[in-house]
Structure 1
Amino acid sequence: MFFASDNAGPAHPAILSALGAANTGFASGYGADPLTIAVTQQLREIFEAPEASVHLVATGTAANALALATLANPWDTIFCTPDAHIQQDECNAPEFFAGGAKLTLVGTGDKLTPDTLRTAVAAEQSRGVHGPQRGPVAITQATERGRIYSVAEITELTAVAREFGIPAHLDGARFANALVALNCTPADMTWRAGVDAVSFGGTKNGCLGVEAVIFFDPARAWEFELRRKRGAHLFSKHRFLAAQMQAYLTDGLWLDLARRANASMARLADGLRGIEGVRFTAEPQANMLFPEIPRHMHDRLQAAGAVYYLWDGAETGAPEDRLTLRLVTDWSLPEAEIDRFLSLARG
C-alpha cells in the first residue's frame, strides 16, 4: 500500500527492455547518437513543433533549473506559487543555476491566477537598478496539490507574461497525467497556449530517470546546451537517456501509463468519498489527493503498513484530531492494494 509518491514505483518493462537493446555495440556520445536524433524528432512530432529544440536530462530538478536559467538573467526574478516544486523541493537549484535570480512567490496556494500574477509582476522593476528585474513565469502542471490548469487558464497566464514581455515555463513533471485528464494535445497545453519552454517529465510516469526540456524557440538551444554541459548534466552515454524516452513515447505508452495512474486515483477517491470522517481539500484531477481524516484512521492505516506523507498535522495527539494526507498513485499500483487501503480506512 504505497501511496507516498509516483517516484517510488517501478520502471515499465518496455523502458528496461529498451535500455537492454541500447546496451549493444558502440554509439557516439553526448547526444550525437541515432537514438537521440530519433527521439528529438518524436517529440517534435508529438508537440507539433518541427523547429523546437529538444534536450534530455536525468532529473526533474535539472530540467527545471536549467530551463529557467536559460530564460532568466542573474538579476531577474522568477514568478511562481509558494507551493511550486522549484520553491519547495529543489534546494535553491533554480537560483543556483541562474546565477542568483530570485523567486517571487505569487498568491498563497498552488495555482497562479491572472490577477495575482499581474499584480506581482507589475510590482517589480519599481526600484530601478536596486531591485530585481522581471523574469519568467513558472507554471506547474499538474500542481503540487494535484490540481490542473485548464488550457484557458494557461493561456490567460501567458497573456499576462506577454503583457510584460517575459517568457513562460511549464514544469511538466506530471505532464502526461494532466494531459490525459484534459484530453487535449501537447501543443494545446504548451506553445498554442503561449508557453515558451516545458520540462516534459518521464521519471514519475514509468521511466527510470529521464526528462526532456523543450524550447519552442530554437534560438534558446545553444545557451541551454552550454548551461547543461557547464552544470554537469550532459550525459556522455546519452543513448541511455534517449532509449528510455523513445520507449516511453512509442505507441502512446506515456499516455497509457498516465491513464492508469489517474484511474487508480479515481478508484481510491471514489472509495474514500463514502467513508465517514473523510473530507477532500480538493477534488482529485490527476493522480494526487489530499484527504483530511481523523487520527484514529491514520493510526489504523499506519499500523497495517500503509505508506504516504502526513501533509498537515502532528504524529501524536487525540484520536479525533484532523490530519491531512498526501496520497499519490502510479501506473503500477494494483487494484487490490487500493481496495485493501479502503477496507482499512473503513475500519
Structure 2
Amino acid sequence: MNFASDNVSPQCPEILDALNAEASGNAPAYGSDATSAQLDTAFSKLFDTDVAVVPVATGTAANCISLSALVSPFGGIVCHPEAHINEDESTGVAFFTGGAKLMPLDGPAAKLEAKSLDAFLASRVDRGVHSVAPECVAITQATELGTVYTAREVQTIGEICKKRDLRLFMDGARFANALAHLGCHPGDITWKAGVDAISFGATKNGAMAVDAIVLFDTSLRSKVEQARKRSGHLYSKHRYLASQLLAYIRGDVWLNNARHANGAAKTLCDMLVSHGATLAHNADANELFVKLAPELAQQLRDAGALFYPWPSLGEDIYRFVTAWNTEIAQIGLLNDRIAHK
C-alpha cells in the first residue's frame, strides 16, 4: 500500500506495448527516426496549435532545460517557495541557466496569486547591474501541494507576464492530473493563457522514463535542443522516448491514468476523513496532505501503508500520493484493517 509517491508506480501496459513494438530492427539515431518524427504533429493536435516537442528522460532535465531557453544567466525566475525547481532540483536551475536566480514568492497551497505577483513585480527597484530583474514566472500544474490552478488563474498570471514582458513557464510533472480535475482543453491552461513552454510529465503517470519539453513558442526549439545536447540529455536511441510519449497520449491513456489516480485519492481521502483525519487544504489532484492523530498514523503504518510526514505544513501533517495503478480494493482493505484495531 505505497502512498509515498507516484514515482514508485510501474509502466502502464500501453507504454510497455509501445516499447516492445519499437524493440525490433534498426532505426536512425538522435531523433532522426520515423517514430520521433510524429511527435510535433501528435502534440500539435493535442494542444490544437503548432508546438515543438523535445523529449528528455527526467523531469529535472525538462524543467531546467526549458528555463535555460527562457531566461538569461543574470535574470530572475519568480516561483513559489514550494516549487519543485526551488525545493527539489538542487542547484539545477542555476546550473542549466548559467546562473539565473530563483525569486520565491509565497501564496496559499503552493499557488502564486496574480494580485501578489503583480505587486511583487511592481515593487522591484531597478538598480542596474546590482539587482536581478525578473525575466520569467514559473508555475506548477498541479502544484506540489496537490492543488490546481483554474484556467482563469493561469490566464490572469499570463496577462501579468505579457504586460511586463516576462516569459511564463509551467512545470507540468502532474499536468495530466490537473487537466483530469479541471475537465478543460489542454490549450485553455497553456498557450491560450500565455504559457511559453511546459514540461509535460509522463514518468509519474505510467511512462518508464520520459518527460517532454513542449514549446508553444516554436522559435525556441534550436536553443532547447542545443541545451539538451550540451547537458548530456540527448538520447541516441531517441525513438524509445518518442514511442512512450506517443503511446501516452494516444487514446487518452494519459488522462485515463490521471483520472484513476485522482479518483483513488478521493476514495483514500474519504476513508481517512472517516477515521478522523482532516485536510490541510483542498485536494484537487492525486496528492493528499492531511493531519493525522499519532495513533491513526501508527495504525496506518501497522496496516502496511507507506506515506511521508510533511513538517513544512505543520505538526502531524502527512502526504499521501496515489497513482495510475493504485488499487481501490487496497484502500478498502486498509480501511478494514484499521477499523478493526
- Give the structure-1-normalised TM-score: 0.94
**For the residues of structure 2 that align with 1:91 and 1:143, how far apart are their CA atoms?**
18
Taking structure 1 as reference, are residues 224 and 322 closer, same or farther at Cα in structure 2, changes over 3 Å only?
closer
* Equivalence for 1:288: 287
* Equivalence for 1:233: 233
**For the residues of structure 1 that align with 2:301 and 2:235, how far apart are their CA atoms?**
40
Q: Is the 8 A contact 1:124 1:132 kept in 2?
A: no
Does residue 204 of structure 2 align to residue 243 of structure 1? no
**For the residues of structure 2 that align with 1:219 and 1:185, how far apart are their CA atoms?**
24
Q: Is the 8 A contact 1:295 1:322 kept in 2?
A: no
Q: Is the 8 A contact 2:107 2:113 kept in 1?
A: no
**For the residues of structure 2 that align with 1:247 and 1:157, how far apart are their CA atoms?**
32
My pick for the range that moved more, 171-180 or 127-136, is: 127-136
Q: Following TM superposition, by how much is the alpha carbon of 1:41 offset from its aligned partner in structure 2, in angstroms?
A: 1.1
- Structure 1 residue aligned with 2:317, among 324, 330, 337? 324
Give 1:103-252 correspondences, 5 Å limit.
Answer: 103-109=102-108, 110-124=110-124, 126-252=126-252
Taking structure 1 as reference, are residues 322 and 129 closer, same or farther at Cα in structure 2, changes over 3 Å only?
closer
**For the residues of structure 1 that align with 2:37 and 2:123, how far apart are their CA atoms?**
43
**For the residues of structure 2 that align with 1:341 and 1:90, how far apart are their CA atoms?**
33
Secondary structure of 1:290's counterpart equals strand
Q: Report the residue type matching 1:331 in the other structure.
A: W
Give 1:268-283 correspondences, 5 Å limit.
Answer: 268-276=268-276, 278-283=277-282
Does residue 301 of structure 2 align to residue 343 of structure 1? no
Q: Following TM superposition, by how much is the alpha carbon of 1:305 offset from its aligned partner in structure 2, in angstroms?
A: 2.3
Q: How many residues align?
A: 338
**For the residues of structure 2 that align with 1:212 and 1:103, how far apart are their CA atoms?**
22
Q: Is the 8 A contact 2:77 2:136 kept in 1?
A: yes
**For the residues of structure 2 that align with 1:118 and 1:211, how far apart are their CA atoms?**
31
Q: Is the 8 A contact 1:291 1:325 kept in 2?
A: yes
Q: Following TM superposition, by how much is the alpha carbon of 1:299 offset from its aligned partner in structure 2, in angstroms?
A: 1.4
**For the residues of structure 2 that align with 1:69 and 1:181, how far apart are their CA atoms?**
30
Structure 1, unmatched stretches of 5+, are: 314-320
Q: Following TM superposition, by how much is the alpha carbon of 1:339 offset from its aligned partner in structure 2, in angstroms?
A: 1.5
Please tell me the root mean square deviation across aligned C-alpha atoms, in Å. Answer: 1.4
My pick for the range that moved more, 115-124 or 242-251, is: 115-124
**For the residues of structure 1 that align with 2:96 and 2:336, how far apart are their CA atoms?**
47
Secondary structure of 2:316's counterpart equals strand
**For the residues of structure 1 that align with 2:338 and 2:120, how far apart are their CA atoms?**
42
**For the residues of structure 2 that align with 1:253 and 1:53, how far apart are their CA atoms?**
21
Give 1:28-67 correspondences, 5 Å limit.
Answer: 28-50=28-50, 52-67=51-66
Q: Is the 8 A contact 1:293 1:322 kept in 2?
A: no
My pick for the range that moved more, 300-309 or 182-191, is: 300-309
Secondary structure of 1:34's counterpart equals coil
Secondary structure of 1:7's counterpart equals helix
Q: 1:161-181: CA deviations, max 9, x gaps?
A: 111101100110001110011
Q: Is the 8 A contact 1:4 1:328 kept in 2?
A: yes
Q: Is the 8 A contact 2:303 2:338 kept in 1?
A: no
Q: Report the residue type matching 2:99 in the other structure.
A: G
Q: Report the residue type matching 2:332 in the other structure.
A: D
**For the residues of structure 1 that align with 2:92 and 2:307, how far apart are their CA atoms?**
26
**For the residues of structure 2 that align with 1:61 and 1:181, how far apart are their CA atoms?**
24
- Give the structure-2-normalised TM-score: 0.96
Q: Report the residue type matching 1:308 in the other structure.
A: F
Q: Following TM superposition, by how much is the alpha carbon of 1:108 offset from its aligned partner in structure 2, in angstroms?
A: 4.6
Structure 2, unmatched stretches of 5+, are: none
Q: Is the 8 A contact 1:33 1:239 kept in 2?
A: yes
Q: Following TM superposition, by how much is the alpha carbon of 1:237 offset from its aligned partner in structure 2, in angstroms?
A: 0.5
Secondary structure of 1:104's counterpart equals strand
**For the residues of structure 2 that align with 1:143 and 1:92, how far apart are their CA atoms?**
20
Q: 1:32-58: CA deviations, max 9, x gaps?
A: 1111111221111101112x1111001
Q: Report the residue type matching 2:244 in the other structure.
A: Q
Q: Is the 8 A contact 1:142 1:172 kept in 2?
A: yes
* Equivalence for 1:259: 259
Q: Following TM superposition, by how much is the alpha carbon of 1:20 offset from its aligned partner in structure 2, in angstroms?
A: 1.2
